[in-house]
């Protein structure tokens, strides 16, 4: 067990004696240590860019990191293969959370682990004290693995540290296949959503204009990979609730509170077609449905609407779309696989302004005014913007640093590397000349306007 420092000098020998038992408990043989120190010594002159997860050579054009990602990720693969050949990295034994001010065998294993992956320099990898340098290394590791950057080693960070290098190698190989499927020409403007990273980036002329957090589908209701044109923006949308969500998610709330539908602005219609008459929620025997749900629910626009003030439509066979959300607190979480498949965006006003930037009628102020008007309005983009929703659990950032994320949907383990089964064939982007201008309101809704999964 790691302990608080009370003068590390006199406890140095104790750390060294405890290191052997810690490594053995972590299923790492004592023979591994000479290999490690040889590796550290041989790497000292090359710099951390050649070690494990640490940064490799930056791409020649950081603004084109997506298209240059295959080369940088291949470099990361080579670095990990070299580590595997030298025996891999040690596994951290289970135990209490490690943080600044502690010392002991577990901390020494941690420092060795971080030195192998390049988060600590080889010299700094020797020691049993959790000092400021170790904390900074832990934060670097956490940043590259999508973890909360608190500098302490709790359950999640320990789990990521203990992923074997062989598993990281397999993960990189799977994602090299995914990265290679990107087209060379992704469009002058496009959106890029990486589901495991819970992020959305907007690109223009090869440059990342902005990035924002997103909420994606939970494992039971995963967000699919897509390549589709984003064609419409809906201000103040209503929400036609899919029957599955009505039965599984909303019905239990109705049974707890009979006035739930009224409080949240839902209307109830008989049957599943638009022709069904509206019914009074209080007149329905909700208790007697017995697993069936013969009604259609529609939530009116407003502050409680699950889609928020904006919906971004990209026609696809899954009825998946991007949208705002009234649950702003969810973006403060690190793990954001919380929706029923659709993608909730952190900054809908900024996204809408980006999509409408080439239309002089739609300044950022006009976008905000439309959102705050409370009126439902459909806009067709005069120039549809490609949207790429991908599932990358490993990639290289503009600096060549290998990034890893959890395999939320267990797609990495599929026999075909999870590429063919999760990628949807690209839909041709319609020419701008065939679509009305962005400022044109639509009196009717397109045939694909089903409200799909919930937000």
Same domain? 147 vs 290: no
Q: Which residue, of 112, 142, 170, is where some domain finishes?
A: 170
If asked whether residues 245 and 219 sit together in one domain, one would say no
| Model confidence pLDDT, tens digit, residues 237-290 | 999 999 999 999 999 999 999 999 999 999 999 988 878 899 999 999 999 887
Query: Is residue 444 domain-resident?
Result: no
Confidence of residue 140 (pLDDT cuts 50, 70, 90): very high
- Residue 153, domain member (yes or no): yes
* Average pLDDT over every residue of 55-79: 65
Please give the C-alpha separations between residue 398 and each of 71, 72, 102, 404, 405, in angstroms, as whole numbers.
11, 9, 35, 14, 17
- The whole-angstrom separation of Cα 54 and Cα 82 is 13
Strand partners, 233: 312, 379
Confidence of residue 308 (pLDDT cuts 50, 70, 90): very high
Structural domain includes residue 178: no
Q: What is the pLDDT of residue 59?
A: 40
Task: Report how far residue 434's alpha carbon sits from residue 447's, in angstroms, rounded to the nearest whole number.
Answer: 17
Per-residue pLDDT reduced to its tens digit, 209-234: 999 999 999 999 999 999 999 999 99
Is residue 452 included in any domain, yes or no?
A: no
Give me the phi and psi of 160, to 5 degrees please: -65, -40
- What pLDDT score does 192 carry? 96
Mark whether 372 and 233 lie in a shared domain: yes
Q: What is the pLDDT of residue 51?
A: 40
Which residues carry out catalysis?
323, 342
pLDDT in tens, 371-412: 999 999 999 999 999 999 999 999 988 788 899 999 999 999
Q: Does residue 397 share a domain with residue 306? A: yes
Beta-carbon neighbour count of residue 220 at 10 Å? 10
Average pLDDT over residues 154-160: 97
d(CA 432, CA 175): 33
pLDDT per residue as tens digits for the range 318-360:
999 999 999 999 999 999 999 999 999 999 999 999 999 999 9
Whether residues 194 and 155 fall in one domain: no
Kindly indicate the confidence band of residue 53, based on its pLDDT and cuts at 50, 70 and 90.
low
Do the domain assignments include residue 132? Answer: yes
* 252 C-beta neighbours (distance < 10 Å), count: 11
State whether 318 and 225 are in the same domain: yes
Mean pLDDT, residues 426-439 taken together: 36
pLDDT at 273: 82
Residues 257 and 225 placed together within one structural domain of the fold: no
Instruction: Provide the number of structural domains found in the chain.
Output: 3
Residue 198 has pLDDT above 60, yes or no: yes
The predicted structure's pLDDT at residue 18: 55
Whether 227 and 253 map to the same domain: the answer is no
Return the pLDDT at 56: 46
Is pLDDT at 8 greater than 90 in this prediction? no
In a domain, 39, yes or no: yes
The enclosing H or E element of 390 equals strand 377-390
User: pLDDT tens, 14-45?
Assistant: 565 555 555 554 444 334 444 444 444 444 33
For residue 345, report the phi and psi dihedrals to the nearest 5 degrees: -105, 145
Which residue in the block uniquely carries the two structure tokens 């060379």? 184
The verdict on residue 402 lying in a domain is yes
Domain span at 215: 188-238+301-434
pLDDT per residue as tens digits for the range 349-380: 999 999 999 999 999 999 999 999 999 999 99
The number of beta carbons lying within 10 Å of the beta carbon of residue 58 is 17
- Please check the confidence at residue 63 and state whether its pLDDT lies above 90: no
- Is pLDDT at 60 greater than 60 in this prediction? no
Q: CATH number of the domain at 224, please.
A: 2.40.440.10
Residues 398 and 321 in one domain: yes
Residue 116: the pLDDT is 94
Residues 36 and 105 in one domain: yes
Please tell me whether residues 102 and 163 are part of one structural domain.
Answer: yes
| Mean of per-residue pLDDT scores for the chain | 82
Nearest Cα to 110, choosing from 24, 4, 5, 19?
Answer: 19
Q: Are residues 307 and 422 in the same domain?
A: yes
Q: Strand, coil or helix: what is 396?
A: strand
Asked whether residue 306 carries a pLDDT value surpassing 80, the answer given is: yes
The enclosing domain of 162 has a CATH number of: 1.10.101.10
Residue 31's pLDDT is what? 41
Assess whether pLDDT exceeds 80 at residue 438.
Answer: no
Query: Is 446 domain-assigned?
Result: no
Q: What is the pTM of this model?
A: 0.82
Asked if the model's pLDDT at residue 172 lies above 50, the reply is yes
Comparing 356 with 187, the larger pLDDT belongs to 356
């Amino acid at each position: 067990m790691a302990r608080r420092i009370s003068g590390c000098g006199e406890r140095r020998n104790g750390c060294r004696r405890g290191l052997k038992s810690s490594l053995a408990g972590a299923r790492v043989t004592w023979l591994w240590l000479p290999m490690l120190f040889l590796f550290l010594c041989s790497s000292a002159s090359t710099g951390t860019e050649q070690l494990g997860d640490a940064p490799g050579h930056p791409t020649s054009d950081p603004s084109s990191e997506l298209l240059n990602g295959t080369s940088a990720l291949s470099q990361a693969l080579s670095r990990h293969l070299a580590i595997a050949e030298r025996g891999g990295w040690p596994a951290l034994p289970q135990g209490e959370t490690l943080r600044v001010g502690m010392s002991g065998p577990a901390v020494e294993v941690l420092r060795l682990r971080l030195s192998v992956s390049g988060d600590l320099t080889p010299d700094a990898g020797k020691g049993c004290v959790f000092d400021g340098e170790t904390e900074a290394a832990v934060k670097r590791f956490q940043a590259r693995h999508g973890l909360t950057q608190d500098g302490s080693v709790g359950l999640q960070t320990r789990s990521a540290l203990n992923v074997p290098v062989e598993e990281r190698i397999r993960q990189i190989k799977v994602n090299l296949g995914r990265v290679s499927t990107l087209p060379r020409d992704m469009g002058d403007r496009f959106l890029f959503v990486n589901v495991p990273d819970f992020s959305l980036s907007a690109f223009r002329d090869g440059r990342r204009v902005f990035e924002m957090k997103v909420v994606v589908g939970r494992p039971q209701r995963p967000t699919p990979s897509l390549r589709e044109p984003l064609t419409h923006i809906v201000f103040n949308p209503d929400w036609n609730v899919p029957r599955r969500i009505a039965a599984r998610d909303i019905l239990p709330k109705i049974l707890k509170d009979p006035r739930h539908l009224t409080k949240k602005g839902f209307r109830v219609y008989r049957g599943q077609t638009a022709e069904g008459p509206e019914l009074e929620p209080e007149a329905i025997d909700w208790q007697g449905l017995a697993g069936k749900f013969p009604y259609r629910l529609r939530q009116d626009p407003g502050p409680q609407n699950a889609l928020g003030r904006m919906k971004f439509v990209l026609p696809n066979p899954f009825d998946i779309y991007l949208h705002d959300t009234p649950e702003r607190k969810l973006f403060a979480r690190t793990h954001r696989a919380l929706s029923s498949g659709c993608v909730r965006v952190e900054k809908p006003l900024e996204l809408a302004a980006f999509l409408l930037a080439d239309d002089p009628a739609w300044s950022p102020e006009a976008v905000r005014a439309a959102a705050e008007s409370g009126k439902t309005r459909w806009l067709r983009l005069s120039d549809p913007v490609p949207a790429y929703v991908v599932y990358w659990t490993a990639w290289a950032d503009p600096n060549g640093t290998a990034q890893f994320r959890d395999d939320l949907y267990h797609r990495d383990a599929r026999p075909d590397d999870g590429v063919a089964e999760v990628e949807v064939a690209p839909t041709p982007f319609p020419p701008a000349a065939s679509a009305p201008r962005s400022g044109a309101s639509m009196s009717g809704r397109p045939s694909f306007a089903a409200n799909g999964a919930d937000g």
